[in-house]
């Protein structure tokens, strides 16, 4: 991408236009900051991460005031869970207004809606443009080299939302060791009809690992398989319940070993989404965490920019908030895996 037209300065530069980066860009642009959002891909791509917890709806309604109904492919009142026992339906919950519903989204469509909203709010969006390296002076990040030519953009704050790439923490030498044994999730899609999976997604786990199955659209289903001890060189087959469906291409794998960036904020930077905290998909709210951490990093950036919060305090608050939530989620999932006798947990 030709980067000559990108201005030399911004209040905030955000790398990565997934849910975390778009949430941060929307919040910063709405607050009136000169916001630049970089995405290395030429546009929103199809990614896994379609099952959203009911809590994500409230956040999405704030970020996307014009709605996001056309990204929703299915709704469900709960999940069928077989955790070392016979599978049983578990509702999300309810209140006086009725049941809570989780939902399945088309991620490419959702990411496109978030990106459009960031543009509409005033963010300068550059697709096909990669953050190359941070510029660090006097211990603070105050610029980024970007694009193939390494053009310099000076900026008050950098928000890393590059997902599992972890661009900034790698560049700053802040990547800690994984917080779990090595975990690999295989996933794939299949088309056809599987009526038993239409009412609710299912997760079935035993001492060897877990399998997730869900309907992600009309006549379209997704599966995931995580073996606690990765099976060397063996691609898993379609789950038994999808035996009558037509697989879409070959299964793919993603390294989802748990990670928590030891310093997810500092002078001039925040790290949001999977780049800051990564758990495997059984934690069930990667997208919600990405939206929430992008939103929080953006809000603290805006507060530091209008001097209602001292920048060092903003970074400290973010570090504590992210660490506490991640430790809680890791402790919880680790205990759930230990119940199954999974090696390396508990
Ligand atoms: C197999 C699988 C299944 C999952 N299922 C679920 C699920 O059902 N529900 C759920 O809530 N979560 C799920 N997740 C997790 C969820 O997908 C992630 O938590 C979520 O996408 C994280 O959002 P993010 O914005 O942090 O990162 P991403 O969505 O990964 O976005 C990061 C963006 O940064 C860009 N980028 C990378 N490097 C650079 C660079 N140097 N410069 C510019 N741009 C860059 C990338 O191209 C990408 O667009 C799943 C994950 C996997 C692997």
Q: Give pLDDT tens digits for 136-177.
A: 999 999 999 998 889 999 999 999 999 999 999 999 999 889
Let me know if domain 9-73+106-179+258-339 sits in CATH 3.50.50.60.
yes
CA of 175 to the centre of ligand 1 (A): 17
pLDDT tens string 87-105: 999 999 999 999 999 999 9
Q: Rounded to the nearest 5°, which phi and psi values hold at 81?
A: -120, 125
**Exposure class string for 243-260: b at 16+ Cβ within 10 A, else e:** eebeeeeebeebebbbbb
Q: Which residue has the higher pLDDT, 235 or 226?
A: 226
- pLDDT value of residue 237: 85
- 12 near 35, Cβ under 8 Å? yes
pLDDT tens string 260-303: 999 999 999 999 999 999 999 999 889 999 999 999 999 999 99
pLDDT tens string 307-323: 999 999 999 999 999 99
- pLDDT value of residue 175: 86
Q: What is the 8-class DSSP label of residue 319?
A: H
- pLDDT value of residue 1: 60
In the structure encoding, which two tokens stand for residue 97, read together?
């207004």
32 half-sphere exposure, CB direction, 13 A CA radius: 4
- pLDDT value of residue 269: 97
- 214 near 201, Cβ under 8 Å? yes
CA dist 143 and 140 (Å) reads 9
Least confident of 7-21, 142-156, 193-207, 223-237: 223-237
Quick one: CA torsion of 16, 20, 23, 28, rounded to 10 degrees?
-60
Enter the pTM of the model: 0.96
Which of 49, 172, 257, 280 gets mutated to test ligand 1 (max ligand atoms within 8 A of its CB)? Answer: 49
* Averaged pLDDT of the chain: 94
Q: Which of 285, 282, 281 is nearest to 337 (CA)?
A: 282
CA of 107 to the centre of ligand 1 (A): 10
Which of 114, 163, 221, 297 gets mutated to test ligand 1 (max ligand atoms within 8 A of its CB)? Answer: 163
What are the sequence ranges of the domains in the chain?
9-73+106-179+258-339
Q: Which residues pair with 89 in a beta bridge?
A: 80
In the structure encoding, which two tokens stand for residue 21, read together?
């980066």
- 205 near 83, Cβ under 8 Å? yes
Q: Which of 305, 227, 228, 307 is nearest to 270 (CA)?
A: 305
Distance of CA 19 to the CA centre of its chain: 6
CA of 49 to the centre of ligand 1 (A): 8
- 243 near 262, Cβ under 8 Å? no
Q: Hey, how many other C-beta atoms are within 10 angstroms of the C-beta on 95?
A: 7
Confidence of residue 231 (pLDDT cuts 50, 70, 90): confident
Q: What is the 8-class DSSP label of residue 241?
A: G
Distance of CA 336 to the CA centre of its chain: 22
CA of 274 to the centre of ligand 1 (A): 6
- 175 near 166, Cβ under 8 Å? yes
In the structure encoding, which two tokens stand for residue 176, read together?
């800690």
Give the chain's end-to-end CA distance (angstroms, integer): 47
- pLDDT value of residue 123: 97
For residue 3, is pLDDT > 70?
no
Which of 42, 45, 48 gets mutated to test ligand 1 (max ligand atoms within 8 A of its CB)? Answer: 48
Indicate whether residue 188 lines ligand 1 (CB < 6 A).
Answer: no
Report the nearest-CA residue for atom 31 of ligand 1: 18
In the structure encoding, which two tokens stand for residue 327, read together?
């430790």
For residue 107, is pLDDT > 90?
yes
Q: Hey, how many other C-beta atoms are within 10 angstroms of the C-beta on 161?
A: 34
- pLDDT value of residue 2: 61
pLDDT tens string 5-48: 676 789 999 999 999 999 999 999 999 999 999 999 998 888 88
Question: How buried is 302 (Cβ within 10 angstroms: 0-12 exposed, 13-18 middle, 19+ buried)?
Answer: buried
DSSP for 49-85 reads --EE-THHHHHHHHH-TT--GGGEEEEESEEEEEESS
Q: List, in order, residues 6 or more apart from 128 with CB less than 8 Å away.
A: 1, 39, 40, 41, 42
Distance of CA 147 to the CA centre of its chain: 24
- 228 near 199, Cβ under 8 Å? no
Sign of CA dihedral 137, 141, 142, 148: positive
């Amino acid at each position: 991408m030709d980067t000559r037209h990108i201005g030399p300065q911004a209040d905030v530069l955000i790398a990565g236009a997934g849910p975390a980066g778009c949430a941060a860009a929307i919040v910063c642009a709405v607050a009136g900051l000169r916001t630049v959002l970089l995405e290395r891909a030429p546009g929103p791509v199809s990614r896994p991460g379609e099952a959203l917890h009911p809590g994500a709806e409230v956040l999405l309604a704030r970020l996307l005031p014009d709605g996001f109904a056309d990204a929703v492919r299915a709704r469900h009142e709960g999940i069928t869970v077989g955790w070392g026992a016979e599978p049983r339906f578990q509702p999300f919950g309810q209140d006086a207004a009725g049941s809570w519903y989780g939902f399945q989204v088309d991620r490419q469509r959702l990411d496109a809606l978030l990106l459009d909203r960031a543009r509409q709010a005033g963010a300068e969006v550059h697709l096909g443009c990669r953050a190359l390296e941070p510029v660090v002076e006097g211990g603070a990040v105050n610029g980024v080299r970007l694009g193939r030519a390494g053009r310099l953009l000076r900026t008050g704050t950098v928000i890393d939302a590059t997902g599992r790439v972890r661009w900034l923490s790698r560049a700053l030498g802040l990547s800690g060791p994984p917080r779990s044994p090595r975990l690999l999730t295989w996933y794939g899609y299949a088309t056809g009809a599987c009526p038993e999976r239409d009412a609710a997604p299912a997760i079935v786990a035993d001492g060897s690992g877990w399998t997730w199955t869900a309907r992600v659209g009309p006549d379209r289903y997704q599966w995931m398989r995580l073996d606690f001890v990765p099976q060397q060189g063996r691609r898993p087959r379609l789950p038994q319940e999808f035996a009558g469906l037509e697989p879409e291409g070959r299964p793919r794998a993603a390294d989802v070993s748990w990670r928590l960036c030891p310093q997810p904020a500092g002078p001039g930077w925040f790290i949001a989404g999977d780049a800051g905290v990564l758990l495997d998909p059984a934690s069930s709210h990667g997208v919600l965490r990405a939206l929430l951490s992008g939103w929080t990093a953006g809000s603290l950036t805006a507060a530091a920019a209008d001097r209602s919060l001292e920048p060092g305090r903003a970074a400290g608050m973010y570090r504590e908030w992210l660490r506490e939530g991640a430790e809680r989620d890791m402790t919880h999932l680790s205990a759930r895996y230990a119940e199954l006798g999974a090696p390396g947990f508990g």
